């Protein structure tokens, strides 16, 4: 019996790493991605984007949005690490997938790419709304810009716009600057002001507005200027990442390859910035970049190595933590000078910036405050584009023991004298009082 | 006006002293003891004002031992005073025993706290 059990355990131990290769904390990059399409032609019209994903090692599973066999989970396990919704017109998904299913998928820490289009369905709008962005309610509206459109021979209504107003973040868009403007044809969305997690990655120029290009504008457009977001990203608190684009064409081969000349500018770019923009953004969304992990949080008294179970007030201690960044293939040391540690009980009593040795090790030393109670070492590190680090480690702090106080202090001698003289006085008084007749 | 005030004050003190002269010796001894305790406490408070409150527990125990002693002595004085009708059933020996017991407890506490 014991023999059987040990074989079983060994088998499980062998199989477990195989079963959980994807999206483990050790390798945060996604592996298996479900792509939902409106029709199969998108697969070929957006082939450069899909090829680039496949060449980076992703396993893409293409399905039509109304495929009745779509399922994200089997036996309670997710089959995919990422979901690409290139199905702006899908009224409902096939199979068991629905709005709640998509949100649950994100809530489990997995990633999502949504691309909408003119006449996007309510389902896609609802998913976007849940993610913190609101598409223009007018389903015929497009983003129009009469000053920074992309010059084109065929397009006269200025719905093909060229934007170079990117978010200033190397971690989201890569360290290489995107030189050519990104061309965009699609619908506008605005960020929900209540949602602090959603970010504009590509915003429209101040002269853009959202309206139906077919009809004459009779009333002021509902969304105008820089409040229009063309592409937005969300990083949820569980580090799930979401990319929301108002344009499916943004990812298309046609716009990847097309040249671009921004209206009013002499420069003609051979190739638009779309490919670089989308590739870098997809690297970020699928956790090839900007994923931090913290390991081996250690603390000990100065001059010791063993981590104590408890500190005393006014102890000098050293704290260290190692932070690494996922580069897509391996964990590289993360170097920054703004990581801070808090020594926290209800509020931070100590807040120190950690110094780094450039190899991922962050350390500092400080004195335990003159307050006892149950404290926590806390590292709260949230930076634009990076996954958040929220570490805490509890540690009690005790007061001095009775015999740890300083004794026979010279300053206190008058007080000692005072109380001893009271004792002597009591003695003398007793004698005088009793023997006085 | 000022002259009469000074004279009144002098008269007052004289009356007080002559009245106090009639106090029994036992009570006078207690009074000296109380004055001694309060005086010691004052010295310590002044000292604390000069050097600061660093061993605060020592300061507290030093001063409180004086204050406690003074309070206990005043209590003893109330109980052994023949003029106090309230305690006329309480024998002075009993009052003194209480005083001793309280002092012992007080000084034990002080010794524990003085650090």
CB-facing half-sphere around the CA of A374: CA atoms within 13 A: 3
pLDDT tier at A24, thresholds 50, 70, 90: low
How many Cβ contacts (< 8 angstroms) between chains A and B? 81
Contact with chain B for residue A425, Cβ under 8 A: yes
Q: Which residues of A touch B66 (CB under 8 A)?
A: 418-419, 422
Residue of A418, A430, A433 with shortest CB distance to B62: A418
Residue A317: strand, helix, or coil: strand
B65·A430 Cβ contact <8 A: no
Print burial letters for A187-197: b (CB count within 10 Å at least 16), e (below 16): bbbbbbeeeee
Give pLDDT, residue A18: 44
Residues in chain A: 437
Whether the predicted pLDDT of A333 surpasses 70: yes
Give pLDDT, residue B101: 96
Q: Which residues pair with A133 in a beta bridge?
A: A191
Domain ranges of chain A: 22-285, 291-402, 406-435
Q: What pTM does this model have? A: 0.73
Task: Tell me the CATH class for A22-285.
Answer: alpha beta
> Which stretch, A211-215, A220-224, B72-76, has highest mean pLDDT?
B72-76
Instruction: Find the Cα–Cα–Cα–Cα dihedral A215, A219, A221, A225, rounded to 10°.
Output: 110
Tens digits of residue pLDDT in A231-243? 999 999 888 999 9
Residue of B29, B110, B115 with shortest CB distance to A432: B29
Report the pLDDT averaged over residues A210-221.
Answer: 84
Whether the predicted pLDDT of A152 surpasses 80: no
B86 min Cα distance to partner chain A (Å): 22
Residue of B51, B54, B65 with shortest CB distance to A419: B65
Give pLDDT, residue A10: 59
pLDDT tier at B31, thresholds 50, 70, 90: very high
Compare all CA atoms of chain B with the CA of A409 and give the residue at the minimum distance.
B55
Q: Between residues 32 and 71 of chain B, which touch chain A (CB distance below 8 Å)?
A: 33, 36-37, 40-41, 43-44, 47, 51, 54-55, 58-59, 61-63, 65-66, 69
Contact with chain B for residue A54, Cβ under 8 A: no
CATH topology classification for A291-402: Immunoglobulin-like (2.60.40)
Whether the predicted pLDDT of A23 surpasses 60: no
Q: Which residues pair with A166 in a beta bridge?
A: A202
Report the pLDDT averaged over residues A404-414.
Answer: 88
Give pLDDT, residue A308: 93
pLDDT tier at A4, thresholds 50, 70, 90: low
> Which stretch, A69-78, A97-106, A120-129, B67-76, has highest mean pLDDT?
B67-76
B107·A419 Cβ contact <8 A: yes
Contact with chain B for residue A429, Cβ under 8 A: yes
Contact with chain B for residue A423, Cβ under 8 A: yes
Give pLDDT, residue A21: 44
pLDDT tier at A22, thresholds 50, 70, 90: very low
B38 min Cα distance to partner chain A (Å): 10
ipTM (interface pTM): 0.92
Give pLDDT, residue A76: 86
Tens digits of residue pLDDT in A257-316? 888 888 777 788 888 888 899 999 999 999 988 889 998 899 999 999 999 999 999 999
């Amino acid at each position: 019996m014991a023999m059987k059990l040990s074989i079983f355990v060994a088998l499980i131990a062998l199989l477990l790493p195989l079963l959980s290769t994807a999206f483990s904390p050790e390798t945060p990059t996604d592996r298996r991605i479900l792509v939902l399409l409106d029709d199969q032609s998108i697969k070929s019209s957006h082939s450069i984007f899909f090829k680039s994903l496949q060449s980076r090692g992703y396993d893409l599973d293409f399905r039509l949005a109304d495929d009745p066999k779509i399922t994200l989970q089997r036996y309670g396990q997710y089959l995919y690490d990422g979901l690409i919704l290139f199905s702006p017109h899908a009224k409902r998904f096939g199979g068991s997938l629905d709005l709640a299913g998509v949100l649950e998928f994100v809530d489990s820490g997995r990633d999502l790419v949504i691309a909408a289009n003119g006449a996007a369905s309510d389902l896609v709008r609802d998913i976007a709304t849940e993610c913190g962005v609101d598409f223009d309610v007018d389903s015929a509206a497009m983003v129009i810009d009469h000053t920074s459109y992309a010059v084109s021979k065929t397009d006269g209504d200025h719905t093909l716009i060229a934007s170079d107003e990117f978010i200033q973040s190397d971690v989201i868009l890569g360290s290489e600057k995107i030189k050519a403007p990104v061309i965009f044809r699609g619908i506008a969305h605005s960020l929900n002001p209540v949602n602090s997690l959603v970010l504009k990655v590509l915003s429209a120029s101040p002269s853009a507005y959202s309206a139906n290009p077919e009809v004459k504008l009779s009333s002021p457009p509902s969304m105008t200027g820089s409040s229009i977001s063309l592409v937005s990203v969300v990083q949820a608190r569980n580090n799930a990442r979401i990319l929301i684009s108002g344009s499916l064409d943004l990812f298309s081969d046609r716009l990847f390859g097309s040249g671009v000349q921004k209206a009013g500018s002499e420069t003609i770019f051979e190739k638009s910035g779309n490919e670089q923009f989308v590739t870098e953004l997809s690297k970020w969304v699928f956790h090839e970049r900007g994923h931090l992990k913290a390991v081996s949080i250690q603390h000990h008294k100065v001059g010791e190595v063993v981590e104590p179970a408890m500190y005393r007030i006014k102890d000098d201690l050293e704290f260290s933590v190692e932070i690494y960044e996922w580069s897509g293939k391996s964990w590289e040391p993360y170097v920054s000078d703004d990581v801070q540690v808090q020594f926290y009980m209800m509020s931070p009593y100590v807040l120190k910036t950690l110094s780094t040795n450039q190899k991922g090790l962050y350390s500092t030393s400080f004195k335990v405050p003159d307050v006892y109670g149950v404290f926590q070492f806390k590292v709260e590190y949230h930076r634009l584009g990076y996954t958040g680090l929220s570490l805490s480690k509890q540690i009690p702090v005790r007061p001095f023991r009775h015999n740890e106080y300083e004794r026979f202090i010279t300053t206190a001698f008058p007080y000692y004298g005072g109380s001893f003289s009271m004792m002597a006085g009591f003695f003398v008084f007793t004698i005088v009082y009793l023997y006085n007749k | 006006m000022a002259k009469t005030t000074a004279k009144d004050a002098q008269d007052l003190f004289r009356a007080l002293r002559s009245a106090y002269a009639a106090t029994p010796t036992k009570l006078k001894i207690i009074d000296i003891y109380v004055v001694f305790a309060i005086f010691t406490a004052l010295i310590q408070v002044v000292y604390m004002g000069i050097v600061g409150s660093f061993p605060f527990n020592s300061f507290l125990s030093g001063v409180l031992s004086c204050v406690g002693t003074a309070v206990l002595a005043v209590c003893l004085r109330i109980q052994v005073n023949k003029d106090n009708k309230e305690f006329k059933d309480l024998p002075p020996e009993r009052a003194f025993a209480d005083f001793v017991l309280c002092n012992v407890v007080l000084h034990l506490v002080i010794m524990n706290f003085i650090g």
